[in-house]
Every structure is written in structure tokens, then in C-alpha cells.
Amino acid sequence: MKRVMSDWYQKKICGVLLDITGVLYDSGPDGGTAIPGSIDAVKRLKASSLPVRFCTNETTTTRKCLVEKLSKVGFELKETEIFPPIPAICKILQQRNLRPYLIVTDDSRPDFAGIDQTNPNCVVIGDAESNFSYENLNKAFQLLMCLEKPVLFSLGKGKYYKHGGKLVLDAGPFMKALEFACDIQAEVVGKPEPAFFNTAVQDMGISADTCVMVGDDIVGDIGGAQNSGMRGVQVRTGKYRPEDENHPTVKPDGFVDNLAQAVDLILAGQSK
Amino acid sequence: MKRVMSDWYQKKICGVLLDITGVLYDSGPDGGTAIPGSIDAVKRLKASSLPVRFCTNETTTTRKCLVEKLSKVGFELKETEIFPPIPAICKILQQRNLRPYLIVTDDSRPDFAGIDQTNPNCVVIGDAESNFSYENLNKAFQLLMCLEKPVLFSLGKGKYYKHGGKLVLDAGPFMKALEFACDIQAEVVGKPEPAFFNTAVQDMGISADTCVMVGDDIVGDIGGAQNSGMRGVQVRTGKYRPEDENHPTVKPDGFVDNLAQAVDLILAGQSK
């Protein structure tokens, strides 16, 4: 039985935040595939009077390449509309004079080009895919154990995501591994941290209580959005699992079958 | 300032449990090196009237190869004196009709020879070293997510150990990674589980309160032994770190510089 929840789109909406992977498209070995209806849904939303931003924990590639990848799949996004963790962590590293040992994908390294990585005094992990090797994790661990004040940043703390039709491990589990090994707590940069959501909301010039976040991750997207003062709506695409509808701690403001349905409801509410 | 604790060796001792790595020898790329004084200390202990067993979370190799490896370093141990997690997990797998997907070292696989591994319905992780790859961890994760009742066994849950002069990650952090990713709790087979310690204590035919455990792991060896009713004495070799002397939760019954000093004190107490 699917629950009926209508309150989320009947209340005032002044802007929309969208997750990318699992909402717009599913990633995969050949650049991924658009989720049916999502290309048109993004077009309709952008053609409306509502501002739209894309809030993603995507760290496997640069923002530039992400735009190109999405363009090939059929989405026309601008770099300035996308809020991923790497630009945010680079700002933090510079402000705090930190030099990271990075566990990230090779493809995402260009976005760290301006960051001094010599003689590291902190560790940054993103979704590193096969760079989550025993060797690299040991290097990070040994560095953290040598630091008087060990600092570990995790770009998001997602448990898993869908890649090439399969669920695969995200950065979160490896963050937990290093936290346990070193008896430390990581600083998360990315969803579900409210500070991260708020950057995108502020960029739209709206207040959080008039913003709707649409995502496929019950904890990272929905729980995080709600903790930031927004409404959180979960799509039944991407990493969605039926168990999410009875999640022990997070109750979405609404469920929709996909982004197209979410946009239908949002725009119907606007036209009243 | 080193604390003086004498109570642990002045009370009755009827048997001794020794950890192997970090107490007898330090592992390393060339088979490892004996810790100074430990070869002689084991000889003296075995020549005394006290029974001795070796309780280890070593899972990188078979029990047979471990005996051979230790023999090359200078220790004469029998297979029957050594209690590692693999024989214990094999018994559990057979009793519960479980077929494991294994993340272990290639060298330890012969000890699982009698275990059906087709169409796996549980996951077993040991100290797998470089077999802790993103690919293998994803396979374990995907299997656990498909099982109606996911069962994850971790052979020990050590945070790290010393290998080739460096601290490297043990199985514990990877257990935490899979626990977090799948929202499950692993079953630990090995130290610090009392059931595991007790097998070795029972083999000596003594009661736990007359047994002394000597180890280098403040949580796995000392905390585990104390929770099993034994005294736990920490050596200042192996993975010992000065911070251990002010550990937030575990207070050893005694600290010694090395196994040789522990044996000196134990035998001096016996000769009274």
C-alpha cells in the first residue's frame, strides 16, 4: 500500500533542490542512463518561475566533467547550478591551512589542483571507488595515527549507491572504518550536513522552509533536508528500496514514483 | 611514570594464555622477528609446571603454516596449543549450515577446505590484507543486502597490528564498514569474545580466575581477558602505545616491558 501524502506540494514552494544520481540518472559504466521522464521534468522545472539547484555528493569526477557527462545523457545543467562537496572542502582546507592526503578517484583530482598536498596533515576521503584499496586506506590510517590532532574529512557519508545496476559501497563505510581504527570522528562535508544544504538554498535567495529537496537517499537526502528545515521528498528510483517506506528514523514529507511525478505535483501547486 | 602493579602475579596462577603477534614476535615481510627475550621466555614457561596456550586472532595463514613460521623465528609450538579463529568459525559454519563468502588471505584458505562455499548465505571476514579490495568488499556487501537474514562473521575485531614496523589495519575496521553499509551487527569469532577465550582456558582444565592472559592489545587481549574472568597483563611491545596506560575503558591488571618480564614475575610467584 502506497501512502498518500499531499501536504508537501500544497504548501508554499519558492525553490527546488534536486539530487542528481538516482533522481536524474543512474550512473553506470557507459556514462549512465537517464531515468525515464527526468530529462523532461528538469526542463519543465527550469522553464517555470522556480529556482532550481542540484545538491549532490558526487565526488568521482570534476564538476566540469559531471556537466559534460550529464549533457551526453540529455540534461543541460550549468556548473554554477551544481553544489558538490569538492569545492566546499577545498574552501575549508584553504581556510584552515590543511594539506590533505586524498583518497578520491583519479578523475576528481583536477578539482584539487589548487590545494597543497605536500607533507599532509589531514585526510580527505570521497567516493574513491577502486582507490579504496588496502594500501591507500593504510596510508590514511598511518598518517592519522601520527598526527597529534588527527583530522579526517569525509565527502558525504552515504552507505551505498547504484552503479551499473548494482548497489556499491559509498564513502560512508570507509569513513566508519577509519573512525573505528583511529578512535576519531570524521567531519562530514556534503549531505546530510545542514551547512552543505544551506549553501545551495542561500544561492537561490530563499528560506529553507519554502524549499523542497527531491532525492533517492532516505538518510542523506531526505533526513538531511528535513534537518535543514526543508521538505524532503523521496523518489522510488535510484537506490530507493521498499524498506525505506518504513524507515526507523526518517519519515519523508512525501514519496513519488520518480522525478517526473514530483515535478507534476510541484508545478500543479504553483499554477493554482 | 610507570605504574607499579604487583597483585596480578602474587595471586594464584594455574595457567597462562599468550597472544602471539606482538608478544612472541612482530610479523613482517620476511616472516617476522622474535621480540627480544620471548623465545627464552616461552621455553621457561613451557618447562615449568604451568600449562600454556596461545590465543591468537591470527587469520592470515593456516595453523600449520603459523607453526612453521614461528619455528623459523625460533619458537617450538604445537598446533594443538594454538587457538586461532578459523577452526572455531569452521565449527560454527557447519553447525549452522552456513556457506560463507570469504574475505581472507589466500594463504588461510586451506583451513576452509572442508567448508561448502557454493551459493553463499553468509559472509566471513578475517585479516585479509590486500584482499580487502573495493571489489571484494562490494561482493560481500551485495550478498549481505540480498539475504533476508544477513549474517556477517568477523574473525576478531582488532583495529590494527604491527606489520613490517608499521601499524596496519586489521579486520575490525572492515567489519565496521560492512556493519554501517548494511545496517547490521557482525558476530565476532575470536578475541575479545569470552566464548573464544574460554575454549583455550577449558583446554587447560583450569578456571578463568586462575589464568593470566598476556597480550599487546589493550582492548582485544586485556579487556577481553578481563571480561572472561581472567587477569590481563599488557606488554609494552607489538602494537602497545604509551596512550594505552591511560585507556578510557580498560585498566590492565599489570603492565610489563615484555613477555620475558611477565614470565620472570609469574615464575617467581610460582617458586614461593
CA distance B250 to chain A (A): 14
pLDDT at residue B28 is higher than 50: yes
- Asked whether residue B153 is domain-assigned, the answer is yes
Clarify whether residues B197 and B209 are in a common domain.
yes
Clarify whether residues B129 and B45 are in a common domain.
no
Q: Do B172 and A159 lie within an 8 Å CB cutoff?
A: no
Q: Do A134 and B134 lie within an 8 Å CB cutoff?
A: no
Tell me the three cell numbers of residue B74.
625460533
Question: Residue B54: phi, psi to the nearest 5?
Answer: -115, 115
- Asked whether residue B9 is domain-assigned, the answer is no
Give the end of a domain, one of B169, B188, B207.
B188
Higher pLDDT, B271 or A125: A125
Rounded CA separation A127/A129 (Å):
6
Q: Say what the pLDDT of residue A272 is.
A: 64
* Closest chain B residue to the Cα of A143, Cα to Cα: B167
Tell me the three cell numbers of residue B271.
617458586
pLDDT tens-digit map of B46-55: 999 999 999 9
CATH code of the domain containing A219: 3.40.50.1000
pLDDT tens-digit map of B91-142: 999 999 999 999 999 999 999 999 999 999 999 999 999 999 999 999 999 9
pLDDT tens-digit map of A96-137: 999 999 999 999 999 999 999 999 999 999 999 999 999 999
Clarify whether residues A94 and A170 are in a common domain.
yes
CA-nearest of A160, A155, A228, A158 to A186 is A155
Rounded CA separation A78/A67 (Å):
7
Q: How confident is the model at residue B1 (pLDDT cuts 50, 70, 90)?
A: very low
Clarify whether residues A162 and A98 are in a common domain.
yes
pLDDT tens-digit map of A134-158: 999 999 999 999 999 999 999 999 9
CA-nearest of B154, B64, B66, B150 to B102 is B154
CA distance B132 to chain A (A): 6
The dihedral region occupied by A22, where left means phi > 0, alpha psi between -120 and 50, and beta the remainder, is left
The single-letter code of the amino acid at B133 is S
The single-letter code of the amino acid at B231 is R
Rounded CA separation A170/A260 (Å):
26
* Closest chain A residue to the Cα of B178, Cα to Cα: A173
Average pLDDT of span A86-99: 95
- H/E element holding B199? helix B194-204
Q: Say what the pLDDT of residue A270 is.
A: 83
Rounded CA separation A61/A64 (Å):
8
Based on the structure, what is the number of domains in chain A? 2
CA distance A78 to chain B (A): 32
Clarify whether residues A207 and A133 are in a common domain.
no
Query: Taking the CB of residue B270, how many other CB atoms lie within 10 A of it?
Result: 14
Scan residues 86-145 of B and list those with Cβ closer than 8 Å to A: 128-135, 137-138, 141-142, 145
Clarify whether residues B19 and B94 are in a common domain.
no
ipTM: 0.86
pLDDT tens-digit map of B180-200: 999 999 999 999 999 999 999
3-class SS at A20? coil
Rounded percentage of chain B residues whose pLDDT exceeds 70: 98
Give the end of a domain, one of B188, B222, B238.
B188
- Asked whether residue A72 is domain-assigned, the answer is no
Per residue, the 3-state secondary structure of A26-61, as one string, reads: EECCCCCEECCCHHHHHHHHHHCCCCEEEECCCCCC
Clarify whether residues B101 and B183 are in a common domain.
yes
C-alpha angle with apex B28: B38 to A134, nearest 5 degrees? 135
pLDDT at residue B4 is higher than 60: no
Give the end of a domain, one of B163, B188, B213.
B188
Clarify whether residues A162 and A209 are in a common domain.
no
- Asked whether residue A74 is domain-assigned, the answer is no
- Asked whether residue B66 is domain-assigned, the answer is no
Contact residues on chain B for A132, CB-CB shorter than 8 A: 134, 137
Within an 8 Å CB–CB cutoff, is residue A14 touching chain B?
no
Q: Do A159 and B137 lie within an 8 Å CB cutoff?
A: no
pLDDT at residue A255 is higher than 80: yes
pLDDT at residue A2 is higher than 60: no
A33-to-A24, A40, A58, A227, A234 alpha-carbon distances in Å = 9, 14, 16, 31, 19
- Asked whether residue A234 is domain-assigned, the answer is yes
- H/E element holding A102? strand A100-103
CA-nearest of A205, A208, A214 to A259 is A214
Contact residues on chain B for A138, CB-CB shorter than 8 A: 166, 168-169
The domain containing residue A213 runs over which residues?
15-56+192-270
Clarify whether residues A103 and A177 are in a common domain.
yes
Contact residues on chain A for B130, CB-CB shorter than 8 A: 133-135
Of B132, B172, B176, which has the smallest distance from its Cβ to A134's Cβ? B132
pLDDT tens-digit map of A210-239: 999 999 999 999 999 999 999 999 999 999
Tell me the three cell numbers of residue B82.
594454538
Contact residues on chain B for A141, CB-CB shorter than 8 A: 160, 167-169, 173
Q: Do B130 and A129 lie within an 8 Å CB cutoff?
A: no
Clarify whether residues A255 and A173 are in a common domain.
no
Number of residue pairs across A and B with CB atoms under 8 Å? 91
Rounded percentage of chain A residues whose pLDDT exceeds 70: 98
Contact residues on chain B for A183, CB-CB shorter than 8 A: 159
